[in-house]
Amino acid sequence: MARRTLAVSALGLVVLLGAAACGNDQGSADARPVACGTSQLGWKMTRLADEQRNTPAAVLSAENKGSKSCAFDGYPDIDVYIGKGASAAGKPKKGATPVRLELRPGHTVEFPLFYAASAAPGDACEVSAEYDPSITVVPPHTKDGSLVRMTDAKGRHVRAQVCGIDIELGSPRLR
């Protein structure tokens, strides 16, 4: 009887230790990845041809070029500016969904950008393409940003132009 009790106890201990080990593996698989850093992301800003009201003027995208997944929690900061002069800054569009996603290696997150890309008759643009403005993008939860060049759909450089002071970022989508 003592051998049987000892065998059952030993078997119970093995099962308990095995369950504990499985729990630890599962816990590490659910661990939240670290925030996406500037060096891990490849940014692109693509000007869209359509200039209809309520459609995006451009798309801002970030590809995870790193070897590990990263957390993209929030909206990036975007600034289109001419030296120390005129500028237009990004902010989430009213009603845009909060961003809390895992960006896996090789995957991309895209943000539609809503702003006036051409002036109304008789008006001027806040940030004119004439001066070839700079574009800086900073990922959420970081301080360092990247310079980004605007391109057309075929990848050719085009000068940014923002005819207002706000650029609204729409809800993101993963690609």
Write out pLDDT tens, residues 153-174: 999 999 999 998 899 999 999 9
Do 69 and 17 fall within a single domain? no
Tell me how many domains the chain contains. Answer: 2
Q: Could you tell me the CATH number of the domain that includes residue 97?
A: 2.60.40
User: Which pLDDT tens digit goes with each residue over 103-130?
Assistant: 999 999 999 999 999 887 888 888 999 9
Do 81 and 159 fall within a single domain? yes
Do 141 and 170 fall within a single domain? yes
52, amino acid identity: Q
Do 91 and 133 fall within a single domain? yes
Do 78 and 144 fall within a single domain? yes
Do 26 and 86 fall within a single domain? no
- pTM summary value: 0.78
Asked whether 110 and 121 are in contact (CB, 8 A), the reply is no
CA distance 121 to 36: 42
Element of type H or E holding 8: helix 2-29
Do 13 and 62 fall within a single domain? no
Do 26 and 42 fall within a single domain? no
Do 9 and 56 fall within a single domain? no
Count other Cβ atoms within 10 Å, centred on residue 96. Answer: 17
User: Which pLDDT tens digit goes with each residue over 63-74?
Assistant: 999 999 999 889
The whole domain housing 2 covers 1-31
Do 99 and 13 fall within a single domain? no
